[in-house]
Structure 1
Amino acid sequence: MSTEELVYTVEDGIATLLLNRPDQRNAFTLTMIDAWERALRTAGADPEVKVVVLTGAGEGFCAGGDMDTVGDTGASGPLEQKNTLHLRIHKVARALEDLDKPVIAAINGVAVGAGLDMALMCDIRFAARSARMSEGYIRLGLVPGDGGAYFLPRLVGQSKALELLLGGEFVDAEEALRIGMVNRVVDDADLLGETYAFAAKIAARPSLPVGMIKRAVRSSDRLDMRTSLDLISSHMAVVMSTPEAQQAIDAVRSAVVRDKGRSAAATPPEGTEARRT
């Protein structure tokens, strides 16, 4: 799956997608997009992969589309521009939508425009303290072409999303955390360590309920309450029949019985203290 522009590796149940154009702040080309989608599809089909981490090489996460390739608005007509976005670049969003395995973005530097959108469409976002983020499209007279108008309001609310999309200003990591754009902010040197530690925790969980939890949460904003409860009751019935769940439930029951036994042994029979006096 690896190419010069995107490096794909798997270790200890964690697949890493490393955007690898550090001299261009990892601005993506169409070749990188094709490799990106293939890597996500491969991770989804690989039973050894439990969780995916996305990050960038060097000092930037992703500066959006490379203006010399995908950003050349004068190179083609409106239909060609639409197809480049919808049939090529949007493949990543569709692949992520199909992926039941959690995806964590480790935002190690600047994330701008479509580069920020690529982080927003992940499930969880950890940011380095020096990271800076901006939708930025409006400064070029453009609309948020890679899902910013869809993903951002779901994280920060419509009003705040409009402020960021229409203003186009950068926000730092602490502000991104405050408004709910990212989950955690950590020191730059600790970003990958914190990200992989959390990824390892997920990788150690049973895969079936992890995927079902992601699916239930992702679908919750499209379902009414009754349908969502019906879906989760089906998920619960399935996972409770698995050996992993049965073993875990039995372990909890055994612990409860042991605790009750210890409590009973430590409590003197009723009236004992009175007889002693």
Structure 2
Amino acid sequence: MSDENTSPAGAGAPDGPEPDELIYAVEDAIATITLNRPQVRNAFTLTMIDRWADALRTAEADPQVRVVVVTGAGGAFCSGIDLAVLSGIEPTPIARRRMLTEGVHKVARAALDLSKPLIAAISGVAVGAGLDMALMCDMRFAARSARLSEGYIRIGLVPGDGGTYLLPRLVGPAKALELLLSGDTVDGVEAERIGLVNRVHDDEALLAETYAFARRLAGMSPISSAMIKKAVYQSQHLDLRTNLDLIASHMAIVQSTEDYAEARAAFGERRAPTFVNR
């Protein structure tokens, strides 16, 4: 089935036993969440959603983790929710609503609570809810051949996982409406041009480039990183005067930390700093 015909809601369930559908690993202060249902382009189940949200909360609680990367196995990022999940939901409005609010939206809430940088490495398809999941990340790196689409409208749905909120904030309301109302697909190059992704890389270099950047972020002060991330998101809803007042408090706190003293010393001594998150 071609990318253009991939359902924005996802794919059908495969036959046979499921492997571990989500893999969580930590190395070099980087936590990796790998969506691992390549046979259905990493379409997610509700149990997978629970694992995904738990992985984000685990990364948040682990002082050894400085950055989180989300990616997909088998050459795809995520094709959305598995259609078998939708078929199994009781056909009532309240059941369908709860499937989102008490199920799929767990990942969105866990991403909102994550104080550490969250990067999506997107290869292959990121469709419908799969693209919404990438939009929840702080940054997106894409392969040139990646295919991204908010294609809900092609099957008569509305974006169910934050697309109408997140996409306009990245590409502007007019471009967001163009993509949302048409269901059009863009490749990695076009996605970078319109601001949907931060960087585009050759397919074979995507993960190496993503982890190289993640290691750079992991080497920064975790306290400063968390405060910068929070200030950026909070400031989208604040006036400048309030933002300046907020930053004055952040600056006073940061300058009282051991990590600030270490950063200053390392800068003066021209060496890499060793941060202790205090």
Q: Report the TM-score range of the alignment, normalised by the length of the smaller protein.
A: 0.7 to 0.9
Partner of 1:137: 152
Please say which structure displays the higher CA radius of gyration.
Answer: 1
Q: What RMSD, in angstroms, separates the aligned Cα atoms of the two structures?
A: 1.5
Partner of 2:127: 112
Q: 2:66 aligns with which of 39, 50, 65?
A: 50
> Percent of counterpart pairs with the same letter?
62
The Cα of 1:247 is off from its aligned counterpart by 3.6
Alignment partner of 1:33 is 2:49:
yes
Q: 1:85 aligns with which of 100, 109, 130?
A: 100
Q: 2:169 aligns with which of 154, 161, 167?
A: 154
Task: Give TM-score, length-normalised by structure 2.
Answer: 0.88
What CA deviation, in whole Å up to 9, does each residue of 1:144-193 have, x standing for no partner?
00100010000000010000000001011111001000000001111110
Measured in 1, the distance between the counterparts of 2:269 and 2:60 equals 36
Measured in 2, the distance between the counterparts of 1:121 and 1:245 equals 30
Q: 1:186 aligns with which of 198, 201, 218?
A: 201
- Please state whether the residue corresponding to 1:222 is helix, strand or coil: coil
Letter in 1 for 2:56: L
Provide closer, same or farther for how the CA distance between residues 74 and 252 of structure 1 changes in structure 2, counting only shifts above 3 A: closer
Question: What stretches of structure 1 move > 6 A for 4+ residues in a row?
Answer: none
Partner of 1:20: 36
Contact 1:54 1:106 (C-alpha < 8 Å) held by counterparts: yes
Specify every segment of 5 or more residues in structure 1 that has no aligned partner in the other structure, as ranges. Answer: 256-277
Which aligned pairs between 1:252-263 and structure 2 lie closer than 5 A? none
Partner of 1:4: 20
Specify every segment of 5 or more residues in structure 2 that has no aligned partner in the other structure, as ranges. Answer: 1-18, 271-278
Measured in 2, the distance between the counterparts of 1:74 and 1:42 equals 29
Q: 1:97 aligns with which of 93, 96, 112?
A: 112
Measured in 2, the distance between the counterparts of 1:252 and 1:42 equals 32
What CA deviation, in whole Å up to 9, does each residue of 1:169-227 have, x standing for no partner?
10111110010000000011111100000100111111100000000011111111111
Partner of 2:246: 231
The Cα of 1:253 is off from its aligned counterpart by 6.2
Partner of 1:240: 255
Letter in 2 for 1:84: M
Contact 2:34 2:70 (C-alpha < 8 Å) held by counterparts: yes
Measured in 2, the distance between the counterparts of 1:122 and 1:63 equals 16
Task: Give TM-score, length-normalised by structure 1.
Answer: 0.88
